[in-house]
A and B are shown apart, each in its own frame.
Chain A
Amino acid sequence: NAGVTQTPKFRVLKTGQSMTLLCAQDMNHEYMYWYRQDPGMGLRLIHYSVGEGTTAKGEVPDGYNVSRLKKQNFLLGLESAAPSQTSVYFCASSAGTTEDTQYFGPGTRLTVL
Chain B
Amino acid sequence: QQQVKQSPQSLIVQKGGISIINCAYENTAFDYFPWYQQFPGKGPALLIAIRPDVSEKKEGRFTISFNKSAKQFSLHIMDSQPGDSATYFCAASISWRHKLSFGAGTTVTVRA
Contacts and interface: CB of A to CB of B under 8 A. Distances in A.
Contact of A43 (B34, B42, B44, B98): B44
A109 B27 CA distance: 32
B60 interface: no
B93 A100 contact: yes
Nearest to B105: A42
B18 to A, nearest CB: 23
Interface in A58-72: 58
Interface in A74-113: 90, 92, 94, 96, 98-107
A58 B93 CA distance: 13
Given A40-B9, A104-B44, A99 B49 contact: yes
A98 B46 CA distance: 15
B45 A104 contact: yes
A24 to B, nearest CB: 14
A104 to B, nearest CB: 3
Nearest to A44: B102
A48 interface: yes
Interface of A: 4, 31, 33, 40-45, 48, 50, 58, 90, 92, 94, 96, 98-107
Interface of B: 2, 6, 9, 32, 34, 36, 41-46, 49, 89, 93, 95, 98-100, 102-105
14 contacts: A4-B43, A43-B44, A43-B100, A43-B102, A50-B98, A90-B44, A94-B98, A100-B32, A100-B95, A101-B34, A102-B46, A104-B44, A106-B41, A106-B43
